[in-house]
Chains A and B, each alone.
Chain A
Amino acid sequence: MKPRLAAEKEWDGVAYNILLVDDSETVRAVLMKTLNLAQIPLGEVFMAGNGREALEILKENWVDLVVTDLNMPEMTGFELIDAMKNDNLMKTIPVVVVTTEGSTTRIDDLKQKGVKGYVRKPFTPEQIREMISKVMEAT
C-alpha cells in the first residue's frame, strides 16, 4: 500500500513517520483520523494490511513507530514483532499493539519482546493519542 501524507500541520520540530498495520481498512481509517486529530507531529503515515506488507514497507522506508494489530491474515502481528526483533535495524523501532487480545499471558509475552505500548479494542481516540505520545516521548 502506498504511503499517505499526514495532516498538514505546522510543526517546528521532528515529524514522526508512523506505520499502521491492521487487516481492517475501517480500523486503519479510524487510526489515521485519530492521528490527524491528535497533537502528534506527523511526517508520513504508511499503511499495511498484514505483517508481510508491513515488513516490505519497513525495508524501504524510515519509520519511527509501528502501530499494529495482532490477529491478521498471511502474517500476524506476533510474527511481525518477531521478525522486527530479529532485524538489526527494525528492532529499535518502537511498537504499539492495538488489539482485542485480553490475555495477560500474551500481553506479558509481547512486553518481553519489547513492545512499548498496548491499547485494547474498542479504543477511544484519547487512548491512542495518549499511548503514542507516551511512547514517542520516551524514545
Chain B
Amino acid sequence: MEKEMRRILDETLCEVLEKQAFLFAEETEPGDVPPQTGKMLSARITFAGTFSGTISLYVTETMCCEIAANFLGVDADAPGIATKAPDALKEILNVICGNFLTAAAGDGPVFDLTVPQASEHAGAEWSRVLAIPGIMTYVVDEYAVACHLEMQQ
C-alpha cells in the first residue's frame, strides 16, 4: 500500500510543481542527486482520516526562492523573495497534500490537515535526508527536491 501511495504522491508532487510553480521535476535516485550548496528548507504537514500520515518536503533555499518567485510571478532575485520562500514552500506542500489525499482516497472521505510548518537547516543536512528510507528525490535545474511520506499504522 505504501508503495502505491508513494506513486500517487510522486504524480501529485510533479503536477502541483508544474501547475503552481511552473517547475518540471525529474525523478532521480537519492544517490544521483547532485551535491547541494546553501541552506535547506523543509516543510511538514500531517493528515488524519481514512488513513493517516505525514508528508515532508525538502528543497534548497535557492530552489525555494524560485518556487516563491514563480508562484508570485516575479523574478527569483526580486527584493524580499527569500523572506517569502518558507511561506511559499508551506503552501506548495499544503496543495500537494490536499490533492494527494483526493487522488489516493477519492473525493468522498474527509481528512483533517494540520497547518504546515517550515524549518531551516544547514546544507549538510542533505546527506541525512537523502538517506531516509523511502525518500523520493527529484532534480529541478540541478537543484534537489526531496519528499517523504510517512504512513501511520
Contact = CB atoms under 8 A, between A and B. Distances in A.
Contacts of B98: 99-102, 121
Contact of B115 (A27, A71, A102, A122): A71
Contacts of A105: 108-110
Interface in A62-95: 71-73
A27 B84 CA distance: 11
Given A103-B108, A103-B110, A24 B72 contact: no
B97 interface: yes
B88 interface: yes
Size bracket, chain B contacts: 20 to 34
Contacts, number: 62
A122 B19 contact: yes
A129 to B, nearest CB: 15
Size bracket, chain A contacts: 20 to 34
A30 B72 contact: yes
Nearest to A73: B115
A73 B87 CA distance: 14
